């Protein structure tokens, strides 16, 4: 616990739980924290977790299944960092929660769902426990070929490769890249997990193993530029891999498409629809990519883009971050993040929720079903909307 016990981070823990300002700019009951919204107890809010961490560090409480569950209920959306008024240390807030998870992993005291996630990655290479040979099945019919010195590597990730909703999104992006004449290839069955969720869940040894293997593979194949489907993979490749020696450019697919739209290499026909866009945490708050998805949607004739009440920097998380997409610690109750977010989307009057992340796509698709709104709201990836509106 050396990291957490140093004077600087000890001061952060102390000041955070003594403050609580992040709850007050908005109505307390509408606090922009998914785990607090789901459970309703202050212990699940950032300040509450800090109270527990301080007591844990001082030996006032011991590690328990309940303590571990509370720590892992954080979806790593970074909202607390952006709401914090203490500029000196607010960037370190997520680090404190992250390092707490690292300590829990080191002590072997993680929730069963987290343990099972790590085991699946270690034994199968993916959280779905599906064969590596099937990882590239989704590419059939997309037009993209195996990577062999193309300008870009298109990386689909675990959700895009194995999840039904994720595959649909991956296929739409890949097909659009091919139709737009972008020189891109895929690794198919050679692709391996990027490790972003492994890292955020605290298994640093496994993350480093995955990252170093990917870096070596990319170097061997001569990869210079990567397009990711998943903002979570973008985050790992752009922010964590360079610390381990990676030297390649990384783009989210919406950045590539927005550039092509500006250059008029992609043109649209009229598409009369009311669309609201959901900002993924790992695209927005973690990587400050807000404009490209909106530039694409605004370029489509007759589309009315309507923002949700909470959008951009203040967007409400879908609930899938921090590994919760796989561990489901937040659950699917009425106040679960995905269902709350879908109700916000409904209030805009839009009939389409546009998404730019396969995890968000799955979380919100499931939430629409749970809210019985399938006749009112459709969840579509940006590339899926583009495919519907592209001029021949």
- Residue 223's contacts (CB-CB under 8 Å, 6 or more residues apart) are 147, 153, 248
Cα(104)–Cα(71) distance, rounded to whole angstroms? Answer: 9
Residue 7: enclosing H or E segment and its boundaries? helix 7-19
Contact between 11 and 89 under an 8 Å Cβ cutoff? The reply is yes
State what percent of residues in the chain have pLDDT above 90.
80
The per-residue pLDDT for range 325-376, each reduced to its tens digit, is 999 999 999 999 999 999 999 999 999 999 999 999 999 999 999 999 999 9
Confidence tier at 7 by pLDDT (50, 70, 90):
very low
- Residue 308's contacts (CB-CB under 8 Å, 6 or more residues apart) are 276, 278, 315, 316, 341, 344, 345, 347, 348
Confidence tier at 262 by pLDDT (50, 70, 90):
very high
Q: Is the dihedral of CA 142, 143, 144, 145 positive or negative?
A: positive
**Pairing mode, strands 225-228 and 273-277:** unpaired
Q: Is residue 3 scored above 80 in pLDDT?
A: no
The per-residue pLDDT for range 100-130, each reduced to its tens digit, is 999 999 999 999 999 999 999 999 999 999 9
Residue 369: enclosing H or E segment and its boundaries? helix 358-370
Q: What average pLDDT does the chain have?
A: 92
Candidates 262, 123, 127, 132; CA nearest to 189 is 132
Domains (ranges, CATH) in the chain? 2-110 (no CATH), 114-258 (no CATH), 265-389 (3.40.50.10700)
Q: What is the pTM of this model?
A: 0.94
- Classify residue 266 by burial, with Cβ atoms within 10 Å: 0-12, 13-18, 19+: buried
Q: Facing residues of 378 across strands?
A: 352
Q: Is residue 6 scored above 60 in pLDDT?
A: no
Specify the higher pLDDT residue, 147 or 29. Answer: 147
């Amino acid at each position: 616990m050396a990291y957490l016990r140093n004077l600087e981070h000890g001061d952060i823990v102390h000041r955070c739980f003594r403050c609580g300002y992040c709850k007050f700019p908005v109505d307390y009951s509408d606090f922009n924290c998914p785990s607090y919204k789901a459970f309703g107890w202050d212990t699940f809010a950032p300040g509450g977790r800090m109270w527990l961490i301080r007591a844990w560090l001082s030996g006032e409480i011991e590690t328990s299944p309940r303590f571990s569950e509370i720590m892992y209920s954080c979806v790593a959306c970074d909202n607390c960092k952006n709401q914090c008024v203490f500029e000196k240390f607010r960037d370190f807030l997520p680090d404190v929660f992250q390092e707490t998870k690292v300590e829990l992993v080191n002590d072997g005291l993680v929730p069963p769902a987290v343990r099972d996630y790590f085991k699946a990655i270690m034994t199968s290479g993916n959280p779905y426990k599906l064969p590596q040979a099937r990882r590239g099945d989704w590419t059939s019919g997309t037009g993209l070929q195996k990577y062999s010195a193309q300008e870009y590597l298109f990386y689909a990730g675990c959700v895009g490769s194995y999840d039904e909703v994720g595959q649909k999104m991956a296929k739409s992006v890949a097909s659009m890249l091919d139709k737009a004449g972008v020189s891109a290839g895929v690794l198919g069955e050679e692709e391996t997990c990027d490790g972003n969720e492994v890292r955020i869940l605290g298994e640093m040894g496994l993350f480093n193993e995955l990252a170093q293997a990917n870096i070596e593979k990319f170097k061997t194949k001569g990869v210079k530029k990567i397009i990711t489907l998943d903002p979570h993979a973008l985050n790992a490749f752009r922010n964590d891999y360079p610390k381990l020696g990676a030297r390649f450019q990384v783009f989210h697919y919406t950045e590539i498409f927005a550039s092509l739209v500006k250059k008029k290499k992609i043109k649209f026909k009229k598409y009369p629809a009311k669309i609201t866009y959901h900002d993924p945490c790992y695209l927005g708050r973690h990587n400050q990519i807000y404009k490209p998805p909106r530039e694409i949607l605004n370029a489509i004739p007759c589309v009315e883009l309507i923002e949700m009440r909470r959008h951009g920097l203040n967007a409400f998380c879908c609930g899938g971050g921090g590994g919760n997409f796989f561990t489901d610690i937040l659950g699917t109750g009425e106040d679960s993040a995905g269902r709350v977010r879908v109700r916000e989307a409904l209030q805009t009057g839009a009939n389409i929720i546009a998404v730019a992340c396969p995890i968000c796509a799955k979380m919100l698709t499931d939430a629409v079903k749970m809210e019985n709104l399938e006749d009112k709201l459709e969840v579509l990836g940006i590339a899926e909307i583009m495919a519907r509106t592209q001029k021949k």
